[in-house]
Structure 1
Amino acid sequence: MRGVAGRRARTAVTAVAGVLLAVAVWELYKWVGADDGTSVLGVRVLPRADDAAMPHVLDVLRRFGEPELAGGAELDQGQVVGLVVLRACLFTLRAVAVGFGVGALVGLLLAVAMQRFRVVERGLLPYVVLSQTVPLIALAPAIAGWGGRLSLGSYPWQPWMSVATIAAYLAFFPVAVGMLRGLQSPPPVAEELMHSYAAGWWHTLVKLRLPASTPYLFPALRLAGAAAVVGAVVGEISTGTRGGIGRLVIEYSREATADPAKVYTAMLGAALLGLVVAGAVGIAELASNRRRAT
């Protein structure tokens, strides 16, 4: 227990130190960098360090507590920016959670099918990889258009469902590939032992392959969570879905010249959303490890 507590403490200290280091590098470059950036042979290799491009970190944090004036929905005007960003993150979190769950389930089922049937792996895996080469900016409007013609029984298709579909599209890939590798990881001697017990494919899957795939599953879920957040943000931007953090990034970017710190509040909100998803996966991994230990 002391070793586990020590590792958690070191992880927390490392995370805090990483954030402080990033802030220090940001402020140091703003102090020593040129306002117009650094160019080599007419090509800018370092960004501009003026207040319009790189506001002080303290100014960005202070902006969270100041009132909304122009951007966002009309009902948000007068509220503090931090609350507006939080509400946008919660709106996007719904699409992220649904997309992450659906994508993880689809990826798991594909991995099981590819492990069970070698012909499925040979025929399907190249297309699984190829699916991730389709640009989202072209795929998102198509999904939004298809969704406008669908309904779940008497419940009409909602714009956030298109965003969740895009998130699932990105999330299924790391789970499918990672779980396939995990399901194929047991050594031949372990499989022979299961055969000696006359265990069928299902019992071998439950008792051997799934437990052996746990070290591969949670890293894949972390990647899937990050991909779901990216898919949701890009999906909101591409489909014009209002209310989420992706749309807020676009709305705040229009005020970049007059209020540059405000743009970074939406960006930090999107980053916070990714940390929430990664934290949820980490809690699930911790619970799984405790269950295996008992």
Structure 2
Amino acid sequence: MRRLLAALAGLAGFVLLWEGYKLVGNPEGTVLFGTRVLPRADDLSMPHLLDVARRLGRPELAGGDPVWQVVLRACVFTLGITAAGFALGAVVGLLLAVAMQRFRIVERGLLPYVILSQTVPLVALAPLVAGWSGNLSLGPWPWRDWMTVSVIAAYLAFFPVAVGMLRGLQSTSAAGVELMRSYAAGWWRTLVLLRLPAALPYLFPALRLAGAAAVVGAVVGEISTGTRGGIGRLVIEYSREATSDPAKVYTAMLGAALLGLLVAAAVSLLERPLMRHRRHVEVATL
């Protein structure tokens, strides 16, 4: 209940901040030393939140479906791409973390490049991935555009999982490792029985970050590769009407934001039973 109340309080604070700035802000924006530090407060740049909510209920085009239905379909399409990219990125991150924990030389040689990989601009990387994957195929199945977007989403998702899982695997106490050795437990049994349970508190925050990153990667990938049907493409299409229908642009942005929250909430639902089981095991051990 406290989390729900905190979420509602945060939402109310955002509404008050948005509408309050529109009330007292400068329509031309706040300029400091020749640089605009705060956005314009006019209706074109910052429409009223009530206008955005009303725009969701009106047709996208004359005689067409309501905007909320179009945004919902786009979010479902992007959610499928995000799920594929998130799963791929999580698996790659877990395998890298296990390999780096097992072999010190792998950690020293690979971890700097894992960190360096996140400095590459995603907008520049997406066309390269699309070009590389253009001639690929999965056996009898040709390579699809959504697969390229999933790879881009996985590229952002694997990093927090790899780093967080590596820290979790290395968080086990020396006494616990020595105890497993005294039982003649090999590396695999020590990994399954000791290191993986100890890494759970580090893994799930990393998975939440990876889920949000996968959404960002999917949206940017859809925009960069021109993949139709997703929320990223919808943002581009609606932004062309920003001067005539500014509230419409924010409906697509709202859908993308809610999609990220949905992915993070799904990870939290998975975390709750596993972490509860872990606490029960710890209490029983004590």
Short-chain TM bin: over 0.9
Q: Does 1:15 align with 2:4?
A: no
Match of 1:30 in 2: 22
Matched, 1:191 2:177: yes
- In structure 2, give the amino acid aligned to 1:272: L
Structure 1 residue ranges (4+ consecutive) displaced by more than 6 angstroms after TM superposition:
none
How far residue 155 of structure 1 moved from its aligned partner, in angstroms, is 1.1
Give the 3-state SS of the residue equivalent to 1:186 in structure 2: coil
Separation of aligned partners in 1, 2:143 and 2:136: 6
Counting only pairs closer than 5 Å after superposition, residues 76-87 of structure 1 correspond to structure 2 as: 78-87=64-73
1:122 deviates by: 0.5
Instruction: Please say which of residues 255-264 and 136-145 is displaced more in the overlay.
Output: 136-145
Task: Give the partner amino acid of 1:226.
Answer: A
Q: Which residue of 2 aligns with 1:5?
A: none
How many residues are matched? 280
Cα distance in 1, alignment partners of residues 253 and 154 from structure 2: 22
* 1:45 and 2:37 are equivalent in the alignment: yes
Select between 284-293 and 240-249 the one with higher mean Cα deviation.
284-293
- Hey, what's the Cα distance between the residues in 1 that align with 2:225 and 2:188? 42
Give how far 1:41 is off: 3.0
Q: Residue type of the partner of 2:137? A: S
Cα displacement (A) at 1:250: 0.6
Q: 2:116 corresponds to which residue?
A: 130
Pairwise CA RMSD? 1.1
Choose from 213, 219, 233 the match for 2:199: 213
Distance in 1, matches of 2:192 and 2:99, equals: 14
Task: Tell me the equivalent position of 2:243.
Answer: 257
Look up the match of 1:55. Answer: 47
The CA distance in 1 between the partners of 2:16 and 2:268, in whole Å, is: 28
The DSSP-based 3-state class of the residue aligned with 1:64 is helix
2:158 is the alignment partner of 1:172: yes
TM-score, structure 2 length as denominator?
A: 0.96
Q: Which runs of 5+ in 1 are unaligned?
A: 1-8, 71-76
Local SS of the residue matching 2:57 = coil
Whole-Å separation in 2 of the counterparts to 1:44 and 1:229: 29
Rounded to whole Å, the distance in 1 between the matches of 2:46 and 2:203 is: 38
* AA at the equivalent of 1:188: A
1:289 aligns with 2:281: no
Q: TM-score, normalised by structure 1?
A: 0.93
Which residue identity does 1:240 align to in structure 2?
G
Deviates more, 1:38-47 or 1:114-123: 38-47
Shift of residue 206, structure 1, vs aligned partner? 0.4
- Percent identical pairs in the alignment equals 72
Equivalent in the alignment of 1:111 = 97
Residue in 2 that maps onto 1:73: none
Show the counterpart of 2:141. 155
1:201 aligns with 187
Deviations 1:241-275 (A, max 9, x none): 11100010011011001000000000000001101
Q: Tell me if structure 1 keeps the 8 A contact 2:200–2:275.
A: no
SS at the partner of 1:148? helix
What is the deviation of 1:37?
1.2
Per the TM alignment, residue 289 of structure 1 is displaced from its structure 2 partner at its CA by 2.0
Partner of 2:228, secondary structure, is coil
Range with bigger deviation, 150-159 or 214-223: 150-159
- Looking at structure 2, the residues matched to 184 and 129 of structure 1 have their Cα atoms a distance apart, in angstroms, of 18
Tell me the distance in 1 between the aligned counterparts of 2:33 and 2:92: 49
2:106 aligned with 1:120: yes
Rounded Cα–Cα distance in structure 2 between residues aligned with 1:41 and 1:188: 56
Once the 2 structures are TM-superposed, how far is the Cα of residue 152 of structure 1 from its aligned partner? 1.1
Q: Which residue number in structure 2 is paired with residue 3 of structure 1?
A: none
Q: Counterpart in 2 of 1:68?
A: 60
Q: Does 1:243 align with 2:229?
A: yes
How far did residue 149 of structure 1 move?
A: 0.5
